[in-house]
Structure 1
C-alpha cells in the first residue's frame, strides 16, 4: 500500500458516505436556488434610516448588504449538512467499529481525522463558498470585485460560530460514540445564540455599554461586523474595522482550540 494511499482511501470512503446520491445534488440545488432568489441590492447608507453612526464606507455597506442578503438560508443549509456529516457520519463509524478498522491502516490517527474533516467540513464549505461567490460575481461584479476583502470578511465572521458548534459536536460525538445527542446539542446551541444575542442587546442598550456584545462577539463576530457596517444597535458602539478583524481573529483562535482538543482526544484518548 502506497504511502499516501491509506489517507486517500479514508478520504474517499468518507466523501462517499457523507455525500451519497442524492445528498450532494440536493444541497447544491438548494444553495443555487436560495442564493439567486434571496439576493438584494437595497442596503445603502440612506436606507439605514435612524440607525447609529457607522464606520464603514458606502461601498463596504453595499457589498456587506449584498452578501448578507444571500447568506441566511444557504448558511442554515450548510450548517445542517456539516452537522449531519459530523454527528451521523463519524458517529455511525464509531458505533459500527469502522474507525477501528481505519486504525489498523499504516496511517496516523491525526490523518484519519483530517480525512474525515475534509469530507465533513471542507467539501461542504467548498461547495457553499464556490456557489455563493460565483453567484455574487454574476449578480454584481461592480460591487463585489472592488470590495472583495469585505466579502471575505463577511463570510469569515458569519462562519465562525457554526464552525465552533461543529467542533463541539465533534468532541461530543467522539466522547459519546453516538451522533444523535451531539446533533441535538449542536442545534440547540445554534438557535440559542439568537436568544442570547437578544438578551445581551437589551442589556447593552439599557446600560449604553457595548461590553456584553463585545464578549459575545468573541465567539460570534458576525455581530461586530453587522454593527460596523450597519450600526443598527445605536451610537453606543461604533466599532472600527480593526475591531472587526480583532474579534474575528479571536473567534477563530477559539475555533482552532476546540479542533485541537478534538485531534488530541482522537489521537490519544479515543479507545475503541
Structure 2
C-alpha cells in the first residue's frame, strides 16, 4: 500500500466526521445568509479615508461579521471535538497502524478541520463580493485578500492553541471551552486597549494587540478605527509586517502541535 492511499483514507474519514449531514449544509447556508444580509456599502469611516480602496475594505469587513463567527464555531468544533473525540475513542491509535507518518495523519485531520472550512468560507464570501460589487472588488482584489488575511489570523491562532490543549488533554471539551473563552476575551481586551490608547494618547497598546490581531492595524491604515488616524497612521509596510508577524505566531503554534503529536503523544 502506497503512502497516498492511507492518507486519503484518513482524510476521507475526517471529512465524514467533520461534515456529516446536515453540518455542511447548515454552515454553508449560514455563511451565505450572513454574507448577503450584512453586506454594507456605507462609508463607516472618516472622510479622509473614503476612497475606492477603502470602500473595498469596508465592504469586505461588513461581510465578515456573522460569517466569520460561524467559521470560528466550525473550526473550533472540528479541532476540539473532531480530533479530541478521535483521541478519546482510540481512532487515532488505529491510524497509527497505517503505513503513514504521524505528521501525515495530523495533516489529513487539519486539512479537513481547517482547510475545507476555509475553502468553503472564502468561496462563498468572494463570490458574494463579485455579485454585490464587481466594479469595486475586481480592481482591488489585493485589498480584499489582505482584509481576509488580517481577519483570519486570530481565529487560526486560537485554533492553534486549541490544538495544543486537545493533544495535551486528549479530549476536546475543555479545549473548546478555552477557545470560546479566549475568543470572547479578545473582544473585551480590544475594547480595553482602545480605551487605554485614547486615555494615554499613545498607540503602543494598539501596536501590541495588532501582533495577534492584525485587523487592528489594517483598520488604522484605512482610518476605520474609532479614532481614525489621530493616534496611529501605519504605513502599508507596517501593515504587512504585523500580518506577517501574526502568522509567524500561528505557524509556531501549529509547529508545536506537530512536534507534540509526532514525538510526545504517547498512545
TM class, shorter-length:
over 0.9
Residue in 2 that maps onto 1:241? 236
Q: Which runs of 5+ in 1 are unaligned?
A: none
Taking the TM superposition and a 5 Å limit, the aligned residue runs for 1:118-137 are 118-137=111-130
Structure 2 SS opposite 1:105: coil
Task: Provide the aligned C-alpha RMSD in A.
Answer: 1.2
* 1:111-164 deviations in Å (ceiling 9; x for gaps): 000000000000000000000000101111100010111000100000000000
Query: Which deviates more from structure 2 when the two are superposed, residues 194-203 or residues 101-110?
Result: 194-203
Q: 2:160 aligns with which of 159, 167, 187?
A: 167
For 2:251 and 2:53, locate their aligned partners in 1 and report how far apart those are by CA, in whole Å: 28
Q: How does 1:61-80 map to 2 (within 5 A)?
A: 61-80=54-73
Q: CA distance change for structure 1 residues 49 and 245 in 2, over 3 Å: closer, same or farther? A: closer
The alignment's TM-score, normalised by the length of structure 1, stands at 0.95
Relative contact order: is structure 1 or structure 2 higher (C-alpha 8 Å, sep ≥ 6)? 1
Q: Answer yes or no: is the 8 Å Cα contact 1:214–1:224 preserved in 2.
A: yes
> Which among 254, 265, 268 is matched to residue 263 of structure 2?
268
- Contact map agreement 1:228 1:240 (CA 8 A) in 2: yes
CA apart distance, 1:71 = 0.3
1:212 aligns with 2:205: yes
Tell me the residue number matched to 1:30: 30
Q: 2:53 aligns with which of 57, 60, 64?
A: 60
CA-CA distance at 1:233 after TM superposition: 2.1
Residue 48 (structure 1) aligns with: 45
The answer on 1:110 being equivalent to 2:123 is no
Aligned residues: 265
Worse-superposed segment, 29-38 or 252-261: 29-38
Q: CA deviation at 1:3?
A: 2.7
- d(CA) in 1 for partners of 2:39 and 2:15? 30
Match of 1:179 among 167, 172, 184: 172
Normalised TM-score (structure 2): 0.97
Kept in 2, the 8 Å contact 1:87–1:169? The answer is yes
Instruction: Name the residue aligned to 2:134.
Output: 141
Q: Give how far 1:48 is off.
A: 3.0
Deviation per CA, 1:80-118: give whole Å up to 9, x if none. 000000100000000011100101110000000000000
Supply the distance in 1 between the matched residues of 2:45 and 2:148 (Cα, whole angstroms). 21
* Equivalent pair of 1:231/1:238 in contact (CA under 8 Å): no
User: Aligned equivalents of 1:246 and 1:68: distance in 2?
Assistant: 20
